[in-house]
Amino acid sequence: MLNILRQDRGGKILLAILMIAIVLVPFLNLALPSEHPLHVQTYTVTLMGKYLCYALLALAVDLVWGFLGILSLGHAAFFALGGYAMGMYLMRQIGSRGVYGDPVLPDFMVFLNWQELPWFWQGFDQFWFAALMVVLIPGLLAFVFGYFAFRSRVSGVYLSIITQAMTYALLLSFFRNEMGFGGNNGLTDFKDILGYSLQSDQTRIALFVASCAALIGGYLICRAIVASRLGRLSVAIRDAESRTRFIGYRVDTVKLWIFVISAMLAGVAGALYVPQVGIINPGEFAPINSIEVVVWVALGGRATLFGAVAGAVIVNYAKSWFTVELPEVWLFFLGALFVLSTLYLPKGIVGLVKSKSSTMTSNSKDEESTAQISEAKA
C-alpha cells in the first residue's frame, strides 16, 4: 500500500481523514449526549454517509474519464443497478411486516396482483447473494456494453451519447410496472438489514463506517491500477490511442476491463446509498445524475482521484445548502459551477491548489538563491 501512495500526498491526506472519521464520528454520535456541543446528530451521520457514496461514484467516473479518456454519461445506471440489487434484498427482509402481510411477495407485487415471486427475485433473501449481484450485475452490463462499443472503436462524443442512451433506456424500462421493480414508486419502506433495524443509531453508524471503508478500498483499488503498468498504459491510450494500438497493445481489452472495474465500484456505491436514504426508484437512472457526477469530477480535479472525492463532497454539500435556503436557483448554480470550472479551473480545485503551492515553492527557492548570491558577493 505504501508503494502505491508514495507520490500521492492528496491520497494520504484523504485516507487519513477517512480513518479518523471512522473512529471520531461514531464516538461523537453514540458516546456524547445530544445536548453536548460536539454531539453529531444521526441525521448528519446519514448525510455524510450519502456524500461518501457519491464520492465513491465520482472516483469510479474519474478512473475511466481521467485516466482512460472515456467520458461516461451512463455511470448513474451502474449506481442504480447496484442500488436496486440491495433494495431487492431489503424488500425480501420485510416479509410479513408489509402492508399486505404477504411473507414472500413485496407489497407492490401484491397490489398488482402478482401470484408468485419472479425468477429474478430468487436468492435475494440472502445477503451474500445480494452482495454478489451488487457487483456482478453492473459489471456484466459494463462488460457487454463495453465489449461491443470498444470492439467497434466507438470513442469520443459518440461513446458519451451511447452511454447516456443506455441509462435513459434503463430509466424507461424500470418505470414499467411489469418489469417487477416497483415501477414509478420503486422500492422503499425498508425495515432492517442483516437483522438490525435501519432506524437505529447503531445501524446508521455501521452504514457510515461501511461507506468510509468502501471509499478507502475503492481508492486503493483505483490507485493500485493507476500506479501500475496498466495505469500507465491507460494514460497512453488516453493521450495517443492510435499510436498505442499501432505499437501492438490490445487497447480494447484495457478499456474494457477498466470500464468493468469502474462499473463495479459504482454498483457498490449504489448499494451503500440505498439503505441510508431508504428508497431506490427509476429516477436514479436519470441522465442528469450522470452529468452531475462529471461536474463533481471536473470541479475537484480530473485524473487525481482524491480531487474527484473532494468535488463530490463539496458540490453535494452546496446542493444540500442551496436546496434548503435557495431551492429555485440550485440548477442555475450547478450550471454556472460547471461553466466556471471549465473556463477558469481546467484542472479543478486540486490543480489550483497545486499551482499555488508550486508557485510558492519556486518563489521561496528564488528568494533562497538570491540570498545566497548576496552572501557570496558580500
**Angle at CA 219, nearest 5°, toward 244 and 62?**
50
Q: Does residue 347 have a pLDDT over 90?
A: no
Place of cell 495517443: 240
Q: DSSP of 247-268, one letter per residue?
A: HT--HHHHHHHHHHHHHHHHHH
Residues 363-376 pLDDT 10s: 544 445 444 445 44
Average pLDDT over residues 256-270: 97
Q: Does residue 336 have a pLDDT over 90?
A: no
Q: Does residue 206 have a pLDDT over 90?
A: yes
Helices first, then strands: H and E counts in the chain: 14, 4
Q: How far apart are CA 237 and CA 225, in angstroms?
A: 14
Minimal CA–CA distance to 106: which of 118, 116, 91, 120? 91
Q: Does residue 362 have a pLDDT over 80?
A: no
| pLDDT attached to residue 148 | 96
Q: Does residue 377 have a pLDDT over 80?
A: no
% of the chain with per-residue pLDDT over 70: 92
C-alpha cell, 231:
495505469
Q: Give Dmax over CA atoms of the chain in angstroms.
A: 96
Contact status, residue 263 vs residue 60, Cβ threshold 8 Å = yes
Average pLDDT over residues 131-158: 95
* Domain segments of the chain as ranges: 9-346, 351-378
| pLDDT attached to residue 2 | 58
Minimal CA–CA distance to 310: which of 274, 343, 348? 348
φ and ψ of 112, to 5 deg: -90, 10
**Angle at CA 16, nearest 5°, toward 12 and 22?**
145
Q: How far apart are CA 110 and CA 106, in angstroms?
A: 7
| Residue 308: other Cβ atoms inside 10 A | 33
Q: Does residue 174 have a pLDDT over 80?
A: yes
Fill in the amino acid letter for 347: K
Q: How far apart are CA 167 and CA 189, in angstroms?
A: 25
Residues 225-238 pLDDT 10s: 999 999 999 999 99
Angle between helical axes of 75-94 and 287-300 (0-180°, round to 10)? 120
344 — pLDDT class (breaks 50, 70, 90)? confident
Q: DSSP of 50-67, one letter per residue?
A: HHHHHHHHHHHHHHHHHT
Average pLDDT over residues 332-349: 77
| pLDDT attached to residue 339 | 79
Strands (E), the chain: 187-188, 192-193, 196-197, 279-280
Strands (E), 23-130: none
Average pLDDT over residues 296-320: 91
Place of cell 440489487: 85
C-alpha cell, 118:
419472479
Place of cell 479543478: 348
4 — pLDDT class (breaks 50, 70, 90)? confident
Q: Does residue 202 have a pLDDT over 80?
A: yes
Q: How far apart are CA 128 and CA 80, in angstroms?
A: 19
356 — pLDDT class (breaks 50, 70, 90)? low
354 — pLDDT class (breaks 50, 70, 90)? low
- Who's near 179: CB < 8 A, 6+ residues apart? 173
Average pLDDT over residues 197-210: 96
Angle between helical axes of 42-66 and 9-26 (0-180°, round to 10)? 160
Average pLDDT, the chain: 90
Q: How far apart are CA 172 and CA 131, in angstroms?
A: 25
Fill in the amino acid letter for 276: Q
> Which region among 5-9, 106-110, 114-118, 221-225 has the lowest average model confidence (pLDDT)?
5-9
| pLDDT attached to residue 216 | 97
Classified as helix, coil or strand, 72 is: coil
